[in-house]
Amino acid sequence: MGKRINVQKTYKLYIDGKFPRTESGRYIKWQDPKETTLVNVCRGSRKDFRNAVVAARKAASGWSCRTAYNRGQILYRIGEILEGRREQFMTELTLQGSTKKQAEKEIDQAIERLIYYAGWADKYVQVFSRVNPVAMPYFNFSFLESVGVVAAIAPDDISLLGSVSVLAPIIVGGNTAIMLASESRPLCAITFAEVIHTSDVPAGVVNILTGQRSELLDHFSSHMDVNAVVYCGNDPEEIELVQSNSALNVKRPVIYRGQNWSDKKMQGPYHILETQETKTTWHPVGV
Of 51 and 267, CB closest to another protein: 267
Of 24 and 234, CB closest to another protein: 234
Of 7 and 250, CB closest to another protein: 250
Helix 236-246 × helix 213-222 angle, to 10°: 20
Question: Which DSSP state fits 184?
Answer: S
**Is residue 153 within 8 Å of residue 231, measured between CB atoms?**
yes
**β-strands 138-146, 130-131: how paired?**
antiparallel
Please give the Cα distance from 204 to 63 (Å, whole number). Answer: 9
Please give the Cα distance from 163 to 173 (Å, whole number). Answer: 16
Please give the Cα distance from 19 to 54 (Å, whole number). Answer: 16
**Interacting residues toward another protein by CB under 8 A:** 127, 130, 132-138, 140, 142, 145, 147-148, 227, 236-237, 239-244, 246-250, 252, 268-270, 277-287
Of 38 and 248, CB closest to another protein: 248
Q: Is the dihedral of CA 51, 114, 160, 152 positive or negative?
A: positive
Of 70 and 94, CB closest to another protein: 70
Of 9 and 279, CB closest to another protein: 279
- The contacts of residue 45 (CB under 8 Å, 6+ apart) are 22, 23, 24, 26, 211, 215
Q: Using CB atoms within 10 A of its CB, is residue 69 exposed (0-12), middle (13-18) or buried (19+)?
A: exposed
CB of 115 to another protein, least distance (A): 18
Please give the Cα distance from 152 to 178 (Å, whole number). Answer: 6
CB of 22 to another protein, least distance (A): 29
Q: Which helix (H) or strand (E) holds 36?
A: none
Of 27 and 143, CB closest to another protein: 143
